[in-house]
Structure 1
Amino acid sequence: MSAIVKEAASPIIQNIPNEPVPQNPNCDYLWHILEEAVDQFTDDIDKFVDFVVELQKLPDGDRVFEQLPQFRNHWTEFGYRMTDWPSDEEDREAKRQAQTNQHAFLAKLSTRGVPEYDQIGRAGFTFRSTCEFAPWEIVHFPDIEERYDEEDDEDWPETRDRELELYSIKILNAKVPAAAQWIRWVGQRVYEMEGEIEGEFEWQNEALNSKWNGEKGCSKERFAFWRKRFEWISTVTALEKDTQRIARECAELMKKIEIEK
């Protein structure tokens, strides 16, 4: 692994003297390649985690990789998703799997105890998106209505239905497998989280129909609420059997964590 890491980092290190800010070299290309690999190779997630661990230790003179330049920003902008795609989307299942891979990668990085690549802060929004938001209960979507064009009236039903798919309860078929990665790998840490949740804003409560009515931020009570929501998800007939099973496993793991504490 060390040889691979050195080879991957070599072009960046060689170009450091030409960088406007040598301590913050442009690593975008490296992170994009890593992201594409994570998306495509499910069985190699552990290797990609080891790659980042070794890269962060790289003795490159000024040790610019110690802070992993742009790593966190890259995953925020490009490699952290909590979404779904319409049923007619090309390669939808591959995109869903890529999303799950990304969460597995970020969760596994968070088991290493190194602040530079710890991603535990993303867990809160992941569970909010999966266990709290219930857009399928909303009946009026102004942003979809705005797309209506009288001249294309015949096409409207198809356009409307395609957009509404992304608010259907079936989006949990994409979200639950992704969220499960955080329970599997850092569930104990999620349980112990306190303080603010990254990306939590008041406007989301109404816009996304949040089912959580308690205090903002992480808490044992909120963890218990998420667990109960997974229990509920496991009973939703509209969802795939694999989704129901994963939700049930999440609830069981979370209950075990609560009991052991």
Structure 2
Amino acid sequence: MERYIEQNAQAWDWEVGRKNIWTDGCTTEQQQKARSGELDMVLSPFKQVKPSWVDDIRGKNVLALACGGGQQGVLMALAGAKVTVFDISEKQLGQDAQYAKTLGIELNLVKGDMQDLKMFDNASFDLIFNPTSTCFIQDVHAVYRHCHRVLKPGGYFLTSLTNPVLYMFDEKKALKNRLRVKYTIPYSDLTSLSEQEREKRRSRHDTVEFSHTLEDLLGGITDAGFSIVDVYSDTSGFMIMDSFVHDCYLAVRAVKQL
């Protein structure tokens, strides 16, 4: 496993302790809705995923990809899906395990790198649900190829993409509601930062991130053999950023053709 993947695994373990929004589980209200077939959950950071994208999952085999944290995988299982939660973080998967025990649901929990899904057979899943996470891996094409292989013909791949333009700006300034262009894109922590800056991020338990290009993020989906059938956008959660960049995140629904 590459060093940056190990760093990200440790960083997400750390985020569980900080109760990051992607690690803090699901509410009793969400659980009750899921049992009745209504999935109140996110694919991108804030907007509820379109109900029509997840309205027919009872009895379906679902891969919740990079989806630990006791959130979407739990809710889809409550809605009647057969769910495999795949994540790089042991503690993120631990969140799902705790919910499974408490709620009496079955979840198949698998730890691994989303760039390598060789442990799954061809055409294993009816649906792949991948919340915002491709910004934490270097090779999005590998993810898309594996997803296409393990998805059944006619199955859907749902993913959320970070707009590369967000990585142009100085993060510290953005947190203070100021925008300052600092980096060229495509951005990569491995090449856009000095070794000193990377070490400082490691000491703060930060993740290693990559912006990629829209050609790779969107074109890579179609290059893998998918057809994109629907898209919606979401905000960043930073007022200053959202006032300049409308489509901070893109939620994509793609299908593997019959």
Give TM-score scaled by structure 2 length. Answer: 0.31
Query: Which one has the largest radius of gyration?
Result: 1
User: Which of the pair is proportionally richer in helix?
Assistant: 1
